[in-house]
Amino acid sequence: MPEGHTIHRLARDLRKDLTQRNVPVSSPQGRFAESACVLDGDVVSRVEAAGKHLFMHWESDQILHIHLGLIGKFRPYPVNDPLTGEIRLRLEGEKTAWHLTGPQTCVLVEPAVVAGVLDGLGPDPLRRDGRRGDFVDRIAGSKKAVGAILLDQDVIAGIGNVFRSELLFMVGIHPSTPSNSLTEDQADEIWNIAADLLRVGVKLNRIVTVTPEDAGAARWRLSDDERLYAYKREGLPCRRCGTEIVIGKVANRSMWWCPRCQPG
DNA sequence: TCTTTATGGTGAG
DNA sequence: TCACCCTAAAGAT
């Protein structure tokens, strides 16, 4: 579920469903019960996404910091649906109730915490303040493998394990390539494609990287088996050259690439 | 009915 | 580099 596109889409949907109304807030599971009481009936004033972080600002000046982590989900359900599972946080809208399960972070914070998180993040292509130049500088300033550095949230905020494999496939760069050996044009291209793919992700509410040219169809039409170039496709033929996609470990996590399209 | 896995991040050794 | 946290769904038995 959660790379940057998920969080920005959530911010948009939560804004639409929950602002300008008193929101019943609860924690059916109980682990957020005390804070839920503090927020119960409050009004959402602003919802902000930064990389994989979500901040909900309330009119009482409370700020709710949410990070989904690997397994967290924040999804809408009909308000009258029976409650099942480990619902840490429930926000009730008019027809829709949002259920948060398995988050890495769900806590009320002071403004200084928000500032600290924002300060620690690299540029986010989905934010107005996300500067491509900052990304290019950070790419040039590290000798780590590019496949590793793309996961560093202080280099570029919002990229995760799916996007890093897909990005490097699309620019034709081997994941082990030292970051500081990329040309400025290559870094620019990674940024531009990342921005494009993230925007597509927000729009479709899922990651689809295969281009209409390669697919012969619009992105929104592609099935789960058709939408990615490399991620989880080890042993399958590359969509561009037919060579078998390979899998390896980069920065302690699985990574996929085409040995022919991404020589190294 | 198990075990494994997942688009993430932290903190200890 | 590793264990660990959180949860649900998919896969193996």
Tell whether the model's pLDDT for residue A1 goes beyond 80: no
For the stretch A172-222, pLDDT in tens is 999 999 999 999 999 999 999 999 999 999 999 999 999 999 999 999 999
Which pLDDT does position A240 carry in this prediction? 97
Tell whether the model's pLDDT for residue A104 goes beyond 90: yes
What mean pLDDT comes out for the span A61-68? 98
Q: Do the beta carbons of residue A194 and residue A159 sit within 8 Å?
A: yes
Could you tell me the residue range of the domain that residue A111 belongs to?
Answer: 4-120
Q: Are residues A92 and A50 in the same domain?
A: yes
Domain boundary among A120, A146, A165: A120
Tell whether the model's pLDDT for residue A64 goes beyond 90: yes
What amino acid is encoded at A61 in this protein? D
Q: Are residues A115 and A57 in the same domain?
A: yes
Which pLDDT does position A264 carry in this prediction? 85
How much of chain A exceeds pLDDT 90, in percent? 99
Nucleic strand C contacts from chain A, 4-33, CB < 7 Å: 29, 31
Which pLDDT does position A27 carry in this prediction? 98
Q: How many domains in chain A?
A: 2
In a domain, A241, yes or no: yes
- Strand B: positions under 7 A of a protein C-beta atom: 6-9
Q: Are residues A13 and A62 in the same domain?
A: yes
Which pLDDT does position A229 carry in this prediction? 98
What mean pLDDT comes out for the span A131-160? 97
Q: Are residues A69 and A158 in the same domain?
A: no
Q: Is A30 left (phi over 0), alpha (psi -120 to 50) or beta?
A: left
Q: What distance in Å separates the CA atoms of residue A200 and residue A173, rounded to the nearest whole number? A: 22
What amino acid is encoded at A60 in this protein? S
Using the structure, give the distance in angstroms from the CA atom of A251 to the C1' atom of B13, rounded to a whole number.
18
Q: Are residues A191 and A146 in the same domain?
A: yes
Strands A25-26, A253-257: parallel, antiparallel or unpaired by DSSP?
unpaired
Question: Which nt has its C1' nearest the CA of A70?
Answer: B8
Question: Which nt has its C1' nearest the CA of A6?
Answer: B7
In a domain, A127, yes or no: no
